[in-house]
Chain A
Amino acid sequence: MAKERISFHDQIARNKWKSFFLVIIVFIVLIALGYVISLAFDPGYFFIIMIIATIISLLYVMITYYNSDKIALASVGAKKADPVKHKALYNAVESMAIASGLPMPQVYVMPGSQINAFATGRDPKHAVICVTEGALAKLNKQELEGVIGHEMSHIANYDIRYMTTVAVVVGAISIISQMVLRSMWYGGRDRDRGNIIFFLIAIIFAILAPIVVMLVQFAISRKREFMADAGAVQFTRYPPGLIGALKKIKNEHEPMKVPDAVKPLFFSDTSRKISGLFQTHPPIDVRIKILEAM
């Protein structure tokens, strides 16, 4: 018991530290980008461009840190749950909040016939739980409580802060790369200077790419999912609820269409590929097996 508690504390500390580390990396990368651009344009503008780059990166980091939940919710088209229409959902979330001793999170519903859910936010006081319409339609009370308990556990462990930061960073990098790729098509004039810019940007992406891969691998921590499953059982004291939900998900075959950046946030894998390498979650069968042994 005592050991288990310590490991939960460790996990929380690790998640907080990793989130901080990630924000610093983003900050450095953005400033490096500013530096490269200033080199490419005119070294005389170096200081002005560096100041602008610093301000922009500070703003970006702050805005995303405080709004990451809203960005994630908007990117999947989630809407605030209706207290009357989604009474059962509110009851399940409130029950799990009570069982975990955490403040009541905000409750959102997103379109989609598949069973899935995710939690986001920067700490337990600013947390959001979002479930699909499919989950509300297909899960019974115990199963829904199991899924919500899993998400509540992500909130308690500060997984949400880390995973949402990852989602925002991966999203930002993909936006920048899109921009670069598009500007390549139009960058016809001023050949020499343009070539230098793209050469340097290419180098930056050569550095960035492995970082992105590393981040995604961090996010795909299977341990995190297993711990959240264990947390759900601790809150509900009823493993069959979560097992039932996982079994229902196993029998679904249609993949969900969500942006790449938010995929690791979800309760279960959004794609139904067989390959294990890019799975964002441990296989459902393994999760069920572990839960059945509890």
Chain B
Amino acid sequence: MALWLIILIAVIVVLLLIVIGFYNRFVVLENRINNSLAQIDVQLKKRVDLVPNLVETVKGYAKHEEKIMHEVSEARKALVGAIDSKDIVKSVKAGDALQGALSRLFAIAENYPTLKANENFLQLQQELSAIEDKIAYARQFYNDSVLAYNNACRTIPGAWFASLFGKKAGKYLEIPEAEREPVKVKF
């Protein structure tokens, strides 16, 4: 009789450990997604912060390129709004729009040799291009994390526990891949 009891307790303990293990796994995967979101946010904010400085520098050399300057400022404003709204897909799209406007700005800057030679401008250009890379990697990691989470939710035995904990595959959206080749800038 006592033996049966011990076996029963052992089985319950093992089952509990398994459940806890799976629960923690889901928490880890969700945390990873949230961290990757924060990374995207950080990089988008850095981009937002650099733009006014860039606009000021360009204004000093190319006053009458008002159209593109306006475009960049508007795109920046839209991105700030999107970041505040905490909607990741919207933020990423607004970030892409700003990147597009910046690429056109850099293409136009090609016509102004003195601007192109300005050290501050060059530095900002490099900085922004590094941020573009980092945003692409942050999106990639976000998508990797979402994939890992969804796989854990869909495959057995994770799927059984997912329904137990109320975790759903597809709760997080994948971000569309960044366009790997932005507007070509000739040097």
B residues less than 8 Å from A2 (CB atoms) = 151, 155
Please choose the segment from B32-40, B55-63, B88-96 that sits at the chain A interface, where 4 or more of its residues have CB less than 8 A away: B32-40
Judge whether B140 and A237 touch: CB under 8 Å.
yes
Q: Which of A93-123 contact B (CB under 8 A)?
A: 94-96, 98-101
The answer, yes or no, to whether A206 is at the interface (CB within 8 Å) is: no
Judge whether A95 and B32 touch: CB under 8 Å.
no
The answer, yes or no, to whether A5 is at the interface (CB within 8 Å) is: yes
Tell me the count of chain A residues lying within 8 A, CB to CB, of chain B: 14
Chain B residues touching A, range: 10 to 19
Q: Which of B21-56 contact A (CB under 8 A)?
A: 32, 35-36, 39, 43
Min CB distance B155 to A, Å, is 6
Min CB distance A251 to B, Å, is 27
Judge whether B141 and A98 touch: CB under 8 Å.
yes
Judge whether A101 and B151 touch: CB under 8 Å.
no
B residues less than 8 Å from A98 (CB atoms) = 39, 43, 134, 137-138, 141
A residues less than 8 Å from B134 (CB atoms) = 91, 94-95, 98
B residues less than 8 Å from A87 (CB atoms) = 126, 130
Judge whether B35 and A5 touch: CB under 8 Å.
no
Separation of A94 and B140 alpha carbons in the complex (Å): 14
Closest to B148 in A: A5
Q: Which of B108-164 contact A (CB under 8 A)?
A: 126, 130, 133-134, 137-138, 140-141, 144-145, 147-148, 151, 155
A residues less than 8 Å from B32 (CB atoms) = 101
A selection of 26 A-B contacts at a CB cut-off of 8 Å is: A1-B151, A2-B155, A5-B148, A87-B126, A87-B130, A91-B130, A91-B133, A91-B134, A95-B130, A95-B133, A95-B134, A95-B137, A96-B137, A98-B39, A98-B43, A98-B134, A98-B137, A98-B141, A99-B140, A100-B141, A101-B32, A101-B35, A101-B141, A101-B145, A235-B137, A237-B140
Min CB distance B144 to A, Å, is 8
Separation of A235 and B144 alpha carbons in the complex (Å): 10
Not counting A1-B151, A98-B137, A101-B145, a sample of 8 additional A-B residue pairs whose C-beta atoms are within 8 angstroms of each other reads: A1-B147, A91-B130, A91-B134, A96-B137, A99-B137, A99-B140, A101-B144, A237-B140
Min CB distance A139 to B, Å, is 16
Judge whether A101 and B36 touch: CB under 8 Å.
yes
- Spell out B's residues near A (CB within 8 Å): 32, 35-36, 39, 43, 126, 130, 133-134, 137-138, 140-141, 144-145, 147-148, 151, 155
Separation of A147 and B109 alpha carbons in the complex (Å): 34
Separation of A94 and B136 alpha carbons in the complex (Å): 12
Min CB distance A290 to B, Å, is 22
Separation of A147 and B168 alpha carbons in the complex (Å): 37
* Chain A 215-241 interface mask (CB, 8 Å, partner B; 1/0): 000000000000000000001010000
Separation of A87 and B131 alpha carbons in the complex (Å): 12
B residues less than 8 Å from A95 (CB atoms) = 130, 133-134, 137
Min CB distance A89 to B, Å, is 11
Closest to B177 in A: A237
B residues less than 8 Å from A91 (CB atoms) = 130, 133-134
B residues less than 8 Å from A237 (CB atoms) = 140
A residues less than 8 Å from B130 (CB atoms) = 87, 91, 95
A residues less than 8 Å from B43 (CB atoms) = 98
Min CB distance B91 to A, Å, is 16
Separation of A1 and B137 alpha carbons in the complex (Å): 20
Name the 9 nearest CB pairs between A and B, nearest first.
A99-B137, A91-B130, A98-B137, A98-B138, A95-B137, A101-B141, A95-B133, A95-B134, A99-B141
B residues less than 8 Å from A101 (CB atoms) = 32, 35-36, 141, 144-145
B residues less than 8 Å from A235 (CB atoms) = 137
B residues less than 8 Å from A99 (CB atoms) = 137-138, 140-141
Separation of A180 and B134 alpha carbons in the complex (Å): 53
Residue of A5, A98, A235 most packed against chain B (CB within 10 A): A98
Closest to B130 in A: A91
Closest to A5 in B: B148
Min CB distance A148 to B, Å, is 12
Separation of A94 and B151 alpha carbons in the complex (Å): 27
